[in-house]
Structure 1
Amino acid sequence: MADFRIERDSMGEKQIPNAVYYGIQTLRAVENFPISGLKPLPTYVDACLLIKKATAIANGELGCISEDLSRAIVQAADEILAGSLRDQFVVDVYQAGAGTSHHMNVNEVLANRALEILGDEKGNYSRVSPNDHVNYGQSTNDVIPTAIRIGGLLALERTLYPALKGAIAALQAKAGEYQDVVKSGRTHLQDAVPVRMGDTFGAWAQILADHLARLQFAEKDLTVLGLGGSAAGTGMNTHPKYRFRAAEILSTLIDKPLTSAPHLMAAMQSMAPFVAVSSAIRNLAQDLVKISHDLRLMDSGPKTGFNEIQLPPVQPGSSIMPGKYNPVMAEMISQVCFQVMGYDAAIALAAQAGQLELNVMMPMIAYSLIQSLEILGNAIAALTEKGLKGIVVNGDRCRQYAEGSLALVTALNPHIGYLNAAAVAKESLETGKSLRQIVLEKGLMSEADLANVLNLEQMSAMTPAQTEG
């Protein structure tokens, strides 16, 4: 067998290594775009393969391609989805506008594997053509925005949703475990009224649950497909039933209620669904940074910081200071969140950069969106397993801070008035005397009433209205 085969396209011919399954258009793209070394994300490849499988089934059923070609293309897609030939998707993330290079990479690999399934040789495109058969009734312009939608849905279901739900469950468990631990609240990084450690964890759980709901709402935009719009959204060269049947098959393949867009041209031109999902991810990332910073502050010390909690020590923290452990999982997730925010900015810029019938910035949008979903999901899962689940609360330290906080004077406001309470706080800070001692010395309250008002458990308990729902 020769080491090379000759393939031809509209620009001429090239030698293609016979071992590879991609073809001449992929090779041209590899030569043209030696940019980042980043290859298409596996989830994005899966999305493209699922689309090609669905379209092959639909076109076979509708008589647009022969049944034997339909079966061969579907088998090839299934094999690759199962793990074979994954190294054949080789075009750099930063490539020809709209994603034609990656799209043809997928078409060529499927065509050449289908040829083998049919007992033929790679490169015999007169029998199975990347363009005429694998890509029948399709265009980069409707396949790639559909692939971004499917890839986003896959990344949400496979990675981000399970990670978020796991983090919420871990925080809820900690909320129950430490509900009776009282700690000093802090606002402006200054002493504030006491709160329960369990309520702190519970608040974080609620924050993440709210973000999960926002993501699930934004996801709905991804389920409306422009597949079938072909080159410009008019549906040229497609069967009248194709767009609906392809969406129906894809729905079954990914177990999501997908529908064909009411206006295919609009679905092709607007990147708004991706901006909406990216914005929801950025919003989540911003709160995760806040939570990670809280964790680091509360874990600071152990001798010169808050030392209210202990995050699990998972690795040595210094190359020179023995016995040092750092909150590395919290540090990691902040960095991931900053990267996600950067991807969101890039997506927003790319989304407004489309012209007329097409946005040619889709390759970068595809990578940035799916990468954001997956790295954030992986980071949350790692933080949960290596951080949140193993948190230990230092109850004695928390109590010490709560009892020493000048903000306890707030509870005296209804009984001695704001100005008297402020004077008590000032004297306590200047003299070192306790609030209790000063109030009693000044005869502002009885000892029994004061003991009731300065009850930490009572002060830190959330009212029914605050905990409702």
Structure 2
Amino acid sequence: MTNSFRTENDSLGSIEVPREALWGAQTQRSLLNFAIGQDQIPMKLIYSLARIKQAASIVNNRLGTLDDNKRDLIVNAACEIAMGKHDAHFPLSVWQTGSGTQTNMNLNEVISNLASKATGKPLGSHLPLHPNDDVNQSQSTNDVFPAAIQIATVQEIQTTLIPELDLLIESLTKKSNAWSEIVKIGRTHLQDAVPLTLGQEVSAWSTQLSTARERIEVSLRELYPLPLGGTAIGTGLNSPKNFDSEIATEISLLTNLPFSKANNKFAIMGSHDGLVNAMSQLKMLAVSLLKIVNDIRLLSCGPRAGFSELQLPENEPGSSIMPGKVNPTQCEAMSMVCMQVIGLDTAVTMGGGGGHLQMNAYKPLIGFNLLKSIELLHDACRSCRKNMVEGIRPNEEKIAKDLQQSLMLVTALSPKIGYDNATKIAKYAYETGVSLREAAVNFNYVDEDEFDQLVNPILMANPKSK
């Protein structure tokens, strides 16, 4: 049993670490002290931290504070980590110190031990790289951890969420164009209203998502300035001159994204308003998606005792007791994801406002909730598009029947006969069960030809085309 561990040392003394683990003493203490839940620091955040270590070593070498050999060892190890080759060695819980110090040290220790392995030195020897003096040179958790959240958030939104959102918008736009001639009854307050086309109704959904997309992209501008080089509290203590601008440039080259140095690092390190704003825009996307799938759920309800204007793909049986029942499961899954994201946004909002003085101590929560929200929204958009939106079909027979029976078509008569007289026609038709046409002729407000000319659902849905 003794052979399964090695002894490592830090400022608090010695501690046993699993013999083959690439992490060291501080990571091991975190594993023991923060055994809280199953949520671990997202690997996307780990990869961004690795790129920061890589960039820092290059800049430190260029500025003359790190030799070529140590730079190359850090770069090689960081690249391997960023490529996902050592994921098992980053086991820490989200629920740790609010700065993320243990995760930063997890990176430093793993890089140090990868260098030890590469040069034939014992794990934990801190040779030839010291976790703090070399790997963490010119850095503090307080500037690298929020920078890593910013980098990971921008990358995941740009490369994962936005492309999938574009596909969903495209799919809805295709439906809107295909259904531009299908006139149906509108509804306000869940009551019958004047006509519109099914294409117009769906166009609202695609535009909602396009607007949400634009909001998200605008929010990213605030995340490009990085606090790197601010070290502990924003002053840049223990980092060489120009380190901040040079590492921002290096990160920009590594990611192919326009990252830059923050002009005021105190603002970004003492608060994370840009991250809170980005999370808020993810929440707004969730709000839009929730409205859309609730609309789809209503329009597809039935099949015989509801609106039944839309027919959804039948993906799986809907009931364990009712034969033949099919439910709007994609709408339900998306709804739950949206509500989860809205809840995660509330936590990020509270975390963003919960910092004190020169440091916000809710960094792991903010980073975890942002990346989890991006993942959930991406996956839900993809599932919703592939398993529902692309296969939705209009029930044109039901749509036409509801349109013909609508009393709100009488609205087209108001300019000719006045609001009060039009109201009489609608009430008479409803109480007697006759058609609007019959009711209008009965009151002698218009003749049959005038009625047919004025009450034209196609023209009512496109009044400017007259």
Equivalent residues of 1:8, 1:14 under 8 A apart: yes
Aligned equivalent of 1:70: 71
Pick closer, same or farther for the CA change 1:462–1:122 going to 2, 3 Å.
Answer: farther
Q: Which residue of 2 aligns with 1:166?
A: 167
Residues 462, 76 of structure 1: alpha-carbon distance in 2 compared, 3 angstrom cutoff: farther
SS at match of 2:186: strand
Match of 2:104 in 1: 103
Deviation at residue 325 of structure 1 after TM alignment: 1.1
* Secondary structure at 1:448 match in 2: helix
Residue 107 of structure 2 aligns to a residue whose secondary structure is: helix
Deviation at residue 126 of structure 1 after TM alignment: 4.0
Distance 1:448 1:46 in 2: 72
- Range with bigger deviation, 445-454 or 134-143: 445-454
Distance 1:462 1:108, change over 3 A: farther
Conserved in 2, the CA contact under 8 Å of 1:159 and 1:378? no
The Cα offsets for residues 402-445 of structure 1, whole Å up to 9 and x where unpaired, read as: 11111111111101100000010001110001111111122211
Q: Which amino acid aligns with 1:20?
A: A
The separation in 2 between residues aligned to 1:253 and 1:128, in whole angstroms, is: 23
- Matched residue, 1:313: 314
List 4+ stretches of structure 1 deviating above 3 A.
Answer: 462-465
CA contact (8 A) 2:53 2:135 kept: yes
Distance 1:455 1:8 in 2: 84
1:41 aligns with 2:42: yes
Name the CA distance, whole Å, in 1 between partners of 2:463 and 2:111.
60
| Amino acid across the alignment from 2:19 | N
Give the Cα–Cα distance (whole angstroms) in 2 for the partners of residues 189 and 10 of structure 1: 66
Cα distance between partner residues in 2 of 1:217 and 1:57: 31
- Report if the CA contact (8 A) 2:407-2:426 is conserved: yes
Q: Could you say which residue in structure 2 is the equivalent of 1:89?
A: 90
Using the alignment, how far apart are the partners of 2:305 and 2:350 within structure 1?
44
1:7–1:15 Cα contact (<8 Å) kept:
yes
Letter in 2 for 1:170: S
Partner of 1:431: 432
| SS class of match (2:192) | strand
Structure 1, unaligned runs of 5 or more: none
Q: Secondary structure at the match of 2:99?
A: helix
Q: Aligned equivalents of 2:191 and 2:117: distance in 1?
A: 71
Secondary structure at 2:307's aligned position in 1?
A: coil
- 1:198 corresponds in structure 2 to 199
Answer yes or no: is the 8 Å Cα contact 2:121–2:127 preserved in 1.
Answer: no
Deviations 1:255-281 (A, max 9, x none): 111110111112211211011111111
Q: Deviations over 1:200-235 (max 9, x none)?
A: 111110110011111111111110111100011110
Deviations 1:34-76 (A, max 9, x none): 1111111121112111111111221122222111111111111
Task: Tell me how far 1:121 sits from its aligned partner.
Answer: 2.7
| Cross-structure match for 1:406 | 407
User: Structure 1 pair 216/328, CA: closer, same or farther in 2 (3 Å)?
Assistant: same
Inter-partner Cα distance in structure 2 for 1:20 and 1:96: 22
* Alignment-derived partner of residue 130 in structure 1: 131
The residue matched to 2:345 in structure 1 has which SS?
helix
Structure 2 CA distance, aligned partners of 1:169 and 1:309? 19
Match of 1:232 in 2: 233
Matches within 5 A, 1:240-259: 240-259=241-260
SS of corresponding position for 1:185: strand
Question: What pairs with 1:442-453 in structure 2 (closer than 5 Å)?
Answer: 442-453=443-454
Other-structure match for 2:332: 331
- In structure 1, what is the equivalent of residue 293 of structure 2? 292
Whether the 8 Å contact between 1:3 and 1:18 is mirrored in structure 2 is yes
Number of residue pairs matched by the alignment: 465
Instruction: Tell me whether 207-216 or 46-55 shows the greater mean CA deviation.
Output: 46-55
- 345-354 or 416-425: which moved more? 345-354
Q: Partners in 1 of 2:311 and 2:250 — Cα distance?
A: 50
Q: Distance in 1 between matches of 2:360 and 2:387?
A: 41
Q: Distance in 2 between matches of 1:280 and 1:127?
A: 45
Counterpart residue number, 2:217? 216
**Normalising by structure 2, what TM-score?**
0.97
SS at match of 1:16: strand
- 1:378 equivalent in alignment to 2:379: yes
SS at structure 2 position matched to 1:463: helix
Q: SS state of the match for residue 119, structure 1?
A: coil
Q: Tell me, yes or no, if structure 1 residue 347 matches structure 2 residue 348.
A: yes
Note the C-alpha offset of 1:118: 3.0
Amino acid at match of 2:374: L
Query: Is the 1:72–1:118 contact (alpha carbons within 8 Å) kept by the matching residues of 2?
Result: no
TM-score (norm 1): 0.97
For the residue of structure 2 that corresponds to 1:316, the secondary structure is: coil
Query: Is 1:142 paired with 2:143?
Result: yes
Report the 3-state secondary structure (helix = DSSP H, G, I; strand = E; otherwise coil) of the residue aligned with 2:194: strand
**Contact kept? 2:50, 2:82, Cα under 8 Å:** yes
Residue of structure 2 equivalent to 1:458: 459
Q: Measure the CA separation in 2 of the matches of 1:110 and 1:315.
A: 48
How much has 1:462 moved relative to structure 2?
6.0
Q: Give me the whole-angstrom Cα distance separating, in 2, the residues matched to 1:458 and 1:51.
A: 60
Q: Percent identity?
A: 38
Secondary structure of the equivalent of 2:6? strand
Q: Distance in 1 between matches of 2:341 and 2:63?
A: 42
